[in-house]
Amino acid sequence: MTLSSVSIALTGSGGAGVMTAGQILLDAAAKAGFYGLMGRTLGPQIRGGESAALLRLATGPVDGPDDGYDILLAFDWGNIERFQDELPLNTGGLIIADPHQGAVPDIMLTGDDIRTAMVPFHDLAKPIAGGRVNMVGLGLIAALIGLDPAFLLDRVARQLAGKGEAALEASRAALAAGAAAAADIAGVSPLAAPAPRTGDRWSITGNDAAGLGAIQGGVRFCAAYPITPATDILEWLAPNLPKVGGTLVQCEDELASINMIIGSSFGGTPSLTATSGPGLALMTESLGLAVASETPVVVVNVQRGGPSTGIPTKSEQADLNIAVNGLHGDAPHVVTAPLSIGDCLFTTQWSVHLAEAMQTAVIVLSDQTLGQSRAIIDPPADLAFVGKRRVPERIEAPYERYAVTADGVSPMALPGQEGGAYTGDGLEHDPVGHPSTQTAHHQAQLDKRRRKVEGFDYGDHWAEVDGDPDADIAIVTWGSTAAPAREAMARARALGFKVRLVAVRLIHPVPVDRLRYALSGVSRVLVVEQNHDGQYWRHLRAHMDLPGTVAALHRPGPVGLRPREILARLQSQ
Amino acid sequence: MDAVVAKPQSFKSDLKPVWCPGCGDFAVLSAITRTLTELGLPPREVALISGIGCSSRLPAYTSVYGFHGVHGRALPLASGLKLARPDLTVLSVGGDGDGFSIGGNHFVHACRRNVDLTYIVMDNSVYGMTKGQASPTTEADWTGSKLTPEGPGLAPFRPLEMALSSGASFIARAFSGDPLELTRQLCAAIEHRGFSFVHVLSPCVTYRPEQKGWRARVHGSFEAPTADRREAFLRLLDDDGFATGILYQGRETPFQPTAQATAPVAALGAQFAV
Ligand SMILES: Cc1ncc(C[n+]2csc(CCOP(=O)(O)OP(=O)(O)O)c2C)c(N)n1
Ligand code: SF4
């Protein structure tokens, strides 16, 4: 028997090199023609401490984890009780551990038909000069799943580039020792052979994808204040923006970063910042300024467990409320959410386009699961979305920066443009931009700002709609939860259920008509998300009546929703 | 100046200021428009950025590009604009509450960052717009506010010392009642390459009417600008808060990262290929 997907968790304390091993395995599998992804879980320690590389390798594209792991390789058991709940094993799962690290802890053996295999990784690595246990482990895993070790060696060689032949030889020997040890472990089905590769594949994290989407969308200025798990976006943009003539500046805080990008955008440069919950909270006053002054900005908010400092290193989808409702006053703006790791590119690029086209603030709700997981994907198609602002061609006096137009968008003069000088203002204003407290001006400007975002043609990108057109039940979900929802739907359909999936990219404004159309004919709706309070479910209910019986499946992080949970709810609803 | 490019009036908008008659900020507005005229800058290439407060209303009273942001955040907004558009002349204006209280963190970091822009603070030692509360530069024993009836009880900030210790490369103080000196300083500040801070004593005649007496207290005792930080610190140790003139002008390199594109956008994806 061969498998179409295998899930592997590598765990160990700092120094065991599980992240390095995981990335080598993922990229080697990609070279061999597999798809896959790798998430990670880290303890609270700044350096070292327990960590786990969470891999899934498959013959076709995958964008989320399976219910559990088929193989768990533990180089040691340091602090396993702190994150054991993030490492569920599939029925019949195999635990591979080093006997010198003690017996397999009982808490790891609670699943069904769990098997164990003891492999003395440290003893196997010891006789090899410079041999490392993580390489022994990699050799073992590759042999078990049927991955040609040549691909591993190729990736190891890249990693060791410049470290000399001896280092490479040590790795080669360690991989071979691991492969030999695999012969003693029976009952693991290898992966089926992948379809032959036709072109390049990409190995990319959601955060890097968001950075690339930003640049492709036209962003040339970024102001940055570090915060986990958003920092990677900023760190990717720092060396890459200058390559295209852009700039990234590190600021003193998020109040500065949001205002810096409002300033650069006022000057005509498409601008973005990235942050996480606490930073978004600090930015909300100024996001209102961007809305009122009609200055386009994009904030990528990579959600982590909240509230307050919460669980900074782990994922949750609990910033929807603040992203949608955090601004004071009536402040229409746009909130989007990427639907997979690779989609962080599209959604960010699209969001830059939306911000520039509507001259407003767009918040992208990514999360730690999307941002810090790495996926093997087919290179994305070139996208037509490049931010384009409506700028007046000829200016007649008096220039009305906030002219009340049919679609609500007013041509925006840029500094340097003759005759276009105006004062951008967060004070309510008349069409020219002069401060005004008059009822009529306030009404007209509120109306136009709402018209802009509600009348905009978001096209087909508002959601991914998939599944059976004649289904009686639909899953409605958003963000990273789209991945387990897709898989739950696939399993349900394999069991003969008809299911429809609406994975929504446009969170706000709620695309009421499109949603209604996408849900037409269903009599049951299941709203799925990863937060305690059911934020999206409440948000939808505030804006529209969902058809038929509505149920909500929502629970907090840090463990992501699994296909099994969603499938069970589909079957019981 | 031989060719007069624009008259001061051409830098003023037709909007009538909301300020109280006699407010010091009128003279600052006039000095700014006069300065822009003297420097012969095309109005379309100047941007005036402010936060919130009476003084922060100033941009709309000019005919240049302006941005009236939120309370305390003028400096990052101005910095973002200048960093993205180094071709523009960027000025930032506001009050002592805006700049030293809610925006205090940005003030010290803007000094340190040394972006080539000019920051003009109209200091009246009071929150004018919110009707007369103590600001970070209010005297410890000022009992004029219902919010602090016994006086704030705190020693006032010394903004020039803050600017110097934070790395500002141009530091001056002027009195709004001496528009010629103010204009002279503003010209020098704008021509200076780097972050220039001009501290303007600008009376609030409504909530601090006693400030009408400032004319008698100011004295032009900063000698010619020094480029020596030790000398500047020594001068500040003796400063009673009413010395005017250009205190310090250093040669620190302004912060202006600029990059020439070296790759087409389409080439960036290659780094992810496996
Ligand atoms: C976040 C926020 N907090 C408080 C206020 C209220 N507020 C408006 S102006 C101001 C103080 C202004 O004082 P200053 O900057 O010294 O300017 P002045 O009015 O004296 O020129 C305050 C507290 C506000 N607008 N925003
Ligand atoms: S309250 Fe004071 S600062 Fe404000 S306008 Fe009146 S005099 Fe000027």
Domains in chain A and their CATH numbers?
5-182 (3.40.920.10), 203-377 (3.40.50.970), 391-456 (no CATH), 460-572 (3.40.50.920)
Q: Indicate whether residue B128 lines ligand 1 (CB < 6 A).
A: yes
Q: What pLDDT is attached to residue A47?
A: 66
Q: Could you give the CA distance from residue A90 to residue A112 in angstroms, rounded to a whole number?
A: 8
pLDDT per position as a tens digit, B121-157: 999 999 999 999 999 999 999 999 999 999 999 999 9
Q: Which residues of A touch B105 (CB under 8 A)?
A: 252-253, 255-256
pLDDT per position as a tens digit, A331-347: 999 999 999 999 999 99
Q: Across chain B, what does the average pLDDT equal? A: 96
Q: How far is CA A172 from CA A164, A165, B126, in A?
A: 13, 10, 73
Sorted by where each begins, the domain ranges of chain B are: 8-270
Helix (H) or strand (E) holding A290: helix A277-293
pLDDT per position as a tens digit, A256-286: 999 999 999 999 999 999 999 999 999 999 9
pLDDT per position as a tens digit, B193-237: 999 999 999 999 999 999 999 999 999 889 899 999 999 999 999
Q: Which of B124, B127, B131, B202 to mutate to test the pocket of ligand 1 (most atoms within 8 A of CB)?
A: B127
B121 Cα to the center of ligand 1, angstroms: 13
Minimal CA–CA distance to A6: which of A95, A116, A118, A90? Answer: A90
Residue spans of beta strands (DSSP E) within chain B: 46-50, 65-68, 89-95, 118-123, 170-175, 196-201, 245-249
Contact B254, B114 (CB under 8 A): yes
Does pLDDT of B2 surpass 50?
A: no
pLDDT per position as a tens digit, B94-110: 999 999 999 999 999 99
Q: What is the percent of chain B with per-residue pLDDT over 90, rounded to a whole number? A: 94
Range A190-197 average pLDDT: 92
Q: What is the percent of chain A with per-residue pLDDT over 70, rounded to a whole number? A: 99
Q: What pLDDT is attached to residue A164?
A: 85
Q: What is the percent of chain A with per-residue pLDDT over 90, rounded to a whole number? A: 90
- The 3-state DSSP class for residue B141 equals coil
Contacts of A79 (CB under 8 A, 6+ apart): A13, A43, A49, A50
The C-alpha torsion from A531 through A532 and A536 to A540, rounded to 10°, is: 170
Range A453-480 average pLDDT: 97
Q: Indicate whether residue B71 lines ligand 1 (CB < 6 A).
A: yes
Q: What pLDDT is attached to residue A48?
A: 67
Q: What pLDDT is attached to residue B25?
A: 98
Q: What pLDDT is attached to residue A383?
A: 81
Q: Which residues of B touch A434 (CB under 8 A)?
A: 15, 60
HSE on the CB side for B79, CA within 13 Å?
Answer: 34
Does pLDDT of A105 surpass 90?
A: yes
CATH number of B8-270: 3.40.50.970
pLDDT per position as a tens digit, A132-151: 999 999 999 999 999 999 99
B24 Cα to the center of ligand 2, angstroms: 8
- The 3-state DSSP class for residue A152 equals helix
Q: Taking CB atoms and a 6 Å cutoff, what residues make up the pocket around ligand 2? A: B 19-20, 23, 25, 54, 124, 128, 204-207
Q: What pLDDT is attached to residue B61?
A: 98
pLDDT band at A382 (very low <50, low <70, confident <90, very high): confident
Helix (H) or strand (E) holding B180: helix B179-191
Q: What pLDDT is attached to residue A189?
A: 92
pLDDT band at B6 (very low <50, low <70, confident <90, very high): low
Inter-chain contact B80–A215, Cβ cutoff 8 Å?
Answer: no
Q: Across chain A, what does the average pLDDT equal? A: 95
Inter-chain contact B257–A27, Cβ cutoff 8 Å?
Answer: no
Q: Could you give the CA distance from residue A284 to residue A328 in angstroms, rounded to a whole number?
A: 8
Does pLDDT of A558 surpass 50?
A: yes
Q: Which residues of B touch A200 (CB under 8 A)?
A: 273-274
Q: What pLDDT is attached to residue B1?
A: 41
Tell me which amino acid residue B182 is: L
- From the list B83, B109, B263, the residue facing A247 with the nearest CB is B83
Minimal CA–CA distance to B67: which of A414, A263, A445, A272? Answer: A263
B197 Cα to the center of ligand 1, angstroms: 20
Q: Indicate whether residue B130 lines ligand 1 (CB < 6 A).
A: yes
pLDDT per position as a tens digit, B47-66: 999 999 999 999 999 999 99
Q: Could you give the CA distance from residue A232 to residue A128 in angstroms, rounded to a whole number?
A: 36
- From the list B68, B73, B262, the residue facing A423 with the nearest CB is B68
- The 3-state DSSP class for residue A40 equals strand
Lowest mean pLDDT among A379-393, A545-559, B246-260: A379-393
**Region for A422 from its dihedrals, namely left if φ exceeds 0, alpha if ψ lies in -120 to 50, beta otherwise:** beta
pLDDT per position as a tens digit, A300-328: 999 999 999 999 999 999 999 999 999 99
Q: What pLDDT is attached to residue A161?
A: 84
Contact A263, A289 (CB under 8 A): no
pLDDT band at A42 (very low <50, low <70, confident <90, very high): confident
Helix (H) or strand (E) holding A207: helix A206-216
**Residues constituting chain B:** 274
The residue in chain A having the minimum alpha-carbon distance to the alpha carbon of residue B110 is: A252
Hey, of B33, B46, B65, which one would you mutate to test binding to chain A, going by the most A CBs within 10 A of its CB?
B65
Inter-chain contact B274–A27, Cβ cutoff 8 Å?
Answer: yes
Q: Could you give the CA distance from residue A413 to residue A527 in angstroms, rounded to a whole number?
A: 43
From atom 23 of ligand 1, which residue's Cα is the shortest distance away? B130
Q: What is the percent of chain B with per-residue pLDDT over 70, rounded to a whole number? A: 98
HSE on the CB side for A50, CA within 13 Å?
Answer: 17
Does pLDDT of A529 surpass 80?
A: yes
Q: How many CB atoms lie within 10 A of CB A50?
A: 23
Q: How many CB atoms lie within 10 A of CB A549?
A: 12
Q: What pLDDT is attached to residue A234?
A: 98
Does pLDDT of B4 surpass 60?
A: no
- From the list B57, B266, B268, the residue facing A240 with the nearest CB is B268
Tell me which amino acid residue B175 is: F
A45 Cα to the center of ligand 2, angstroms: 53
In angstroms, how far apart are the furthest CA atoms of chain A?
85
Between chain A and chain B, the number of residue pairs with CB atoms below 8 A apart is 187
The residue in chain B having the minimum alpha-carbon distance to the alpha carbon of residue A423 is: B66
Q: What pLDDT is attached to residue A162?
A: 83
Inter-chain contact A202–B258, Cβ cutoff 8 Å?
Answer: no
